[in-house]
């Protein structure tokens, strides 16, 4: 299934994309694509529905983040060796963990705001993993059983705030609009192998990132098992698994985003995002 949320910001409704690419409304059956809806039992309930029985949604409404009411937005840094190299950092011995604040979450095609006085806002296309079955001390061999589905994430980053201002990375990662999710959540049963997906990003039509998830250092089961040592994972938690090379920071000379640009990014089988950059008010 391809699950999504559509409508005005703060008033999104749950929906799904049918086999013909048409948007169907789910709001007679569930309140949101969130929480217990994403558990194995919740998803099984949705699979029992005949998409043809669901109301069609007219027009082309705005798409919101594909997951609502996110409890934790956890990110993995430097998870592609060639990205670590371009960033001038060593390949980590253990996963690097940081957070995005949930207030950073936005829709896949919403405008991305360049923060006030920012000169180093950057892009990072990433594979998103959404937790369906919660747990802690999860066995790596069974970790994929805890995945509800996958989505595209743009891990927007302000590099000065992240790397030059002291403290942790978080201050450069969680600005408003720095976490577009979607366009839809593709349930795990539709993705044969999350480690064999082409992943790419363009700015103003120029392809900067062009990788494949097969080159991850720490794969999805390792990441889930590792995170669950330090926190319980809960249905609807989002994990962003790292980016391949080609970010602005790694270019010679570096290239950063300016207001008025267009980002287009995607992952095989998971859809595309399109964002315009604007100056924050």
Instruction: Give the model confidence (pLDDT) of 24-72 as tens digits.
Output: 999 999 999 999 999 999 999 999 999 999 999 999 999 999 999 999 9
d(CA 41, CA 158): 39
Distance CA 22, CA 57 (A): 8
Supply 82's token pair: 């060639």
How much of the chain, in percent, has pLDDT values that exceed 70? Answer: 100
Question: Tens digits of per-residue pLDDT, 62-120?
Answer: 999 999 999 999 999 989 987 877 778 788 899 999 999 999 999 999 999 999 999 99
Query: Which CATH fold topology does 65-279 show?
Result: Fumarylacetoacetate hydrolase; domain 2 (3.90.850)
Instruction: Using alpha carbons, list the distances in angstroms from residue 97 to 140, 197, 230, 235, 263.
Output: 18, 22, 11, 19, 25
The pair of structure tokens assigned to 46 is: 């949705």
pLDDT of residue 12: 98
pLDDT at 88: 81
DSSP single-letter state for residue 223 = H
Task: Please determine, for residue 219, whether its predicted confidence score (pLDDT) is greater than 80.
Answer: yes
Of 89, 102, 99, the residue nearest 34 (C-alpha):
102
Residue 250 to residues 83, 161, 209, 258, 273: CA-CA distances in angstroms? Answer: 8, 16, 11, 17, 22
**Residue 2, pLDDT above cutoff 80:** yes
Q: How far apart are CA 58 and CA 47, in angstroms?
A: 23
Claim: this prediction has a pTM higher than 0.85: yes
Domain map of the chain by residue range? 65-279
* pLDDT, average across residues 221-232: 98
């Amino acid at each position: 299934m391809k699950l999504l949320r559509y409508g005005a910001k703060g008033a999104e409704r749950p929906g799904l994309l049918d086999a013909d690419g048409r948007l169907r409304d789910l709001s007679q059956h569930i309140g949101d694509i969130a929480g217990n809806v994403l558990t194995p039992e919740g998803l099984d309930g949705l699979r029992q529905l005949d998409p043809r029985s669901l109301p069609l949604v007219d027009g082309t409404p705005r798409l919101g983040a594909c997951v609502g009411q996110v409890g934790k937005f956890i990110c993995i840094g430097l998870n592609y060796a060639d990205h670590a190299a371009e960033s001038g950092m060593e390949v980590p011995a253990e996963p690097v963990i940081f957070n995005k604040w949930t207030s950073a979450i936005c829709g896949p095609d919403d405008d991305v705001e360049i923060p006030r006085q920012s000169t180093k806002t950057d892009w990072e296309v990433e594979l998103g993993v959404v937790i369906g079955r919660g747990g802690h001390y999860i066995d790596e061999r069974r970790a994929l059983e805890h995945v509800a589905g996958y989505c595209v994430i743009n891990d927007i980053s302000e590099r000065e705030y992240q790397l030059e201002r002291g403290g942790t990375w978080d201050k450069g990662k969680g600005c408003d609009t720095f976490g577009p999710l979607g366009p839809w959540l593709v349930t795990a049963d539709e993705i044969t192998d999350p480690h064999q997906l082409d992943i790419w990003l363009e700015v103003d039509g120029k392809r900067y990132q062009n990788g494949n998830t097969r080159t991850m250092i720490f794969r999805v089961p390792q990441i889930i098992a590792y995170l669950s040592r330090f926190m319980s994972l809960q249905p609807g938690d989002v994990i962003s698994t790292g980016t391949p090379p080609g970010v602005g920071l790694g270019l010679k000379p570096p290239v950063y985003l300016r207001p008025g640009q267009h980002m287009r990014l995607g992952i095989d089988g998971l859809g595309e995002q399109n964002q315009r950059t604007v100056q924050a008010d």
